[in-house]
A and B are shown apart, each in its own frame.
Chain A
Amino acid sequence: MVTVDVAAPAGRIPAREAGRATPGRIVAWACLVVIILITLFPFYWMLRTALSNGTTLATAGSSWLPVDFTWGAFRRVLGLATLEEAQAEGGTGSAVDFWVYLRNSVLVAALITAGQVFFGALAAYAFARMRWPGRDAVFFVLLTALMVPPIFTQLPNFLLMRDLGLVNTYAALVLPFFFMTPFAVFFLRQFFLGISREIEEAARLDGAGHVRTFFRIIVPMSWGPITTLALLQYVQAWNEYFWPLLVGSERSVRTLTVALGVFRAQTPQGNPDWPGLMAATLIAALPVLLLFIAFGRRIVDSIGFSGIK
């Protein structure tokens, strides 16, 4: 662990993290920069590959710039390229209905997030702040859901969806995640536990019931963690892979992640369309990225005074 040693002169409060270049701070900054570089480099590599020509890519594996620059991969992914163009650049004959998949992903992820956050918050509050018989036991049982290997539940769930006749519908994609994710309950409960009881008790004295206290006081106070959770769950739902592959492989409900699979090896031992895959990845990450840019500041800022202010 690197220590950031800012020895404070006794009796005086130093200016808040003022940028004094002590050796400790320099090391700390260096660490941060290295972490950020390792974080960002693969994204550059993605972009560089997405702008390369698939048929010549491997001739210059270590070229820092796109190999044989072309927009072809993006055109392929967006369905703008003709079959001949696509095949000439190492693409395949498979079509991509990008906008359909995008719509599906947005819809599915949004529904899942809404359900998880709303129901998760209700349950978390009941576990954190209300007294009722069997609370801890139920919470413990609920937590065990965290331990259940997804692969274990997914097949029986799949059989359930089949019996309900829901395979290849939005309902099948959303339902298993909609009502609960143990993580949401656990996450929000931790934050609700951190909220001072005084505020609640005060509200209770004013005659507010639990429902009103929750919606009028707790939720507005926890807006930060709730938005954070929503964003995290949205990303999670957006990137969900195995389940949509199982129940939503049909074109009309196929999500972007599943569609990305189309770009992987098409023939046994065949060459994957790397530029196409990377372009598709970048485009698929774009909506989430925009969301993050739009809400990121609010999330980060609001976390600061959630809970105890």
Chain B
Amino acid sequence: MRTRLLAALASAVVIAAVPACAAERPPAESGGWNDTGEVTYWMWDANQLPAYQECADDFEARNPDIDIAIEQVGWDYYWGRLFAAFVANAAPDVFVDHTSKYGDYTSRGLIDPLDDLIARDGPDLSQFVEGTPDLWVGDDGRRYGLPKDFDAIGLFYNATMARDAGITPEQMQNLTWNPQDGGTYEKVLARLSVDVNGVRGDEPGFDPHHVATYGLGIAYPPGGGSGQTQWSFLSGTLGWSHTEKPLWGTHFNYDDPRFQATIAWWRSLVDKGYMPPLELAVGNKPSQLMQAGRIAVVTEGSWNISTFAKLGGVEMATAPTPIGPRGTRATMTNSLADSIAAASPNKGAAWKWVRYLASPECQSVVAQGGVVVPAVSSVVATAEGAIGAQGLDITPFTRQLHEGTAFPYPAAQHAADVDSIMETAMERVMSGSADPSSFTAANQEVNALFTQG
């Protein structure tokens, strides 16, 4: 009985396998160009939701035949849910897109290029902060989004601790760094580290294994392939870049000695007791550790400034990233944009909404919300003021865009695979189980993704 049944099962498998293959063809949905109806809009940042809801209300008042339905989905679930929605033909008409992700959507034809629409209806791309529109030109040379905001990396530090350590705000604004001795950046981090006996990191007798307050915080996971907030602002000052060209590169440079020296210095902070071992970072957020007094400085993105401004019980301040051996700073900058789903039936209405989202009218509302800095140049000052009014100065972040020391997020194909390989490699190195030279092997694995097609 059992053998007969198994035989039947086996033949069923063979029969089923063939039509199953045939059935998994990509859906040939091409959407429609209705100018009216409901436009669903997804975004992840709940802090910005109120401002965008206001934009939607204004937009609906001007376009009575279009309804905007905003859905906010937390970052942790955003991409999984979005992808599932695309598979289910239930994708939002418009959604907030990220530089590291939209390559996945363009290569599958899931979002529409906007070139023709922009040529017809505008906007003039010069209204945006320089460089931000470029991030949204895909590797096929077509434009997939209008930038809505931009970000940069900087330091958040505990002002009380700095004062107690005798470090002035001026010092913090002019830190220097090099991969050999770490410059004044390392000196400050040493000074701010305090062991359980109250001995500072730059004093004799400091116990690096029993530290009460670490100079620098580390986030888990430690940066993947981009190192956006963790190390890219250091390696950038050495003239190193992730790929052979800023955007859509096909060859990564993790085998470069400059990159490996940066990580080697960064890891040395752990042995010196100026930064917690990576394993202690699993599970907590730097903002929580800052509040608990466990760390004094953290390198973070400007998008989190309102989180730090709202931290109760600690006095915070901001500073720019350190100046490298070549005399300049460096920061990775990234920009979000709104993309239109190719399968949307209301692409006419969706485009009107996207166009409005990128307009100075909507972005001035966002600017007053005081969470992010819009990419529309005319409202940048408003946003800086609104954010400053909450207690933290954002100009240490934004100045790098004015000074021309910002470089774009290294958008590339195979981003998820690159991240996956580099994440593991980075964790091995930072936990001490592998040497920074192991990145050379990881780099080969990464570059193989591009040569194998």
Interface residues of A (CB under 8 A from B): 53, 55-59, 61, 68, 83, 87, 90, 92-94, 133-134, 136-137, 140-141, 158-159, 161-162, 167-168, 245-247, 249-251, 261-272
Contact = CB atoms under 8 A, between A and B. Distances in A.
Interface in B142-192: none
B161 to A, nearest CB: 14
A270 B1 contact: no
B313 interface: yes
B229 interface: yes
Counting chain B residues whose Cβ lies within 8 A of the other chain, the interface size class is 35 or more
Nearest to B9: A141
B311 A265 contact: no
Contacts of B288: 57-58, 271
A68 B313 CA distance: 11
A267 B45 contact: yes
A268 B303 contact: yes
Contacts of B286: 269
A265 B220 CA distance: 14
A93 B47 contact: yes
A139 B229 CA distance: 55
Contacts of A59: 291-293, 312-314
Contacts of B77: 245, 261, 264
A246 B86 CA distance: 11
A159 B86 CA distance: 11
A134 B47 contact: no
A270 B285 contact: yes
Contacts of A87: 47, 310
Interface in B35-50: 44-50
A268 B292 CA distance: 20
B93 interface: no
A59 B288 CA distance: 8
Interface string B274-297: 000000000001111101110000
Contacts of B5: 134, 137, 141
A269 B219 contact: yes
B369 to A, nearest CB: 9
Nearest to B80: A245
A211 B45 CA distance: 57
Contacts of B74: 261-266
Contact of B310 (A90, A134, A167, A247): A90
B88 A271 contact: no
A245 B85 CA distance: 10
Contacts of A159: 87
A134 B4 CA distance: 11
A58 B307 CA distance: 13
26 contacts: A53-B312, A55-B310, A56-B313, A58-B289, A58-B292, A87-B47, A87-B310, A90-B310, A93-B47, A94-B72, A136-B1, A137-B1, A158-B88, A167-B88, A245-B77, A249-B84, A251-B71, A264-B76, A265-B76, A266-B44, A266-B72, A266-B75, A267-B75, A268-B75, A269-B286, A271-B288
- Report whether over half of chain B's contact residues are helix, strand or loop; otherwise say mixed: helix
A249 B2 CA distance: 42
A58 B313 CA distance: 9
A58 B308 CA distance: 13
B249 to A, nearest CB: 23
Contact of A270 (B49, B73, B85, B307): B307
Contact of A93 (B49, B84, B90, B307): B49
A162 B46 contact: no
B210 interface: no
A168 B301 CA distance: 35
B107 interface: no
B245 interface: no
A250 B69 CA distance: 11
Nearest to A242: B80
Contact of B229 (A134, A162, A247, A269): A269
A162 B292 contact: no
B399 interface: no
Nearest to A167: B88
Contact of B312 (A56, A167, A249, A267): A56
In order of increasing CB-CB distance, the 9 nearest A-B pairs are: A92-B46, A56-B312, A58-B291, A93-B49, A55-B312, A266-B46, A59-B313, A58-B288, A94-B46
B71 to A, nearest CB: 7
Nearest to A94: B46
Q: Which residue, of A94, A250, A267, A271, has the highest number of chain B Cβ atoms within 10 A?
A: A267
B81 interface: yes
A271 B303 contact: no
Nearest to A144: B9
A56 B449 CA distance: 46
B300 interface: yes
Contacts of B310: 55, 87, 90
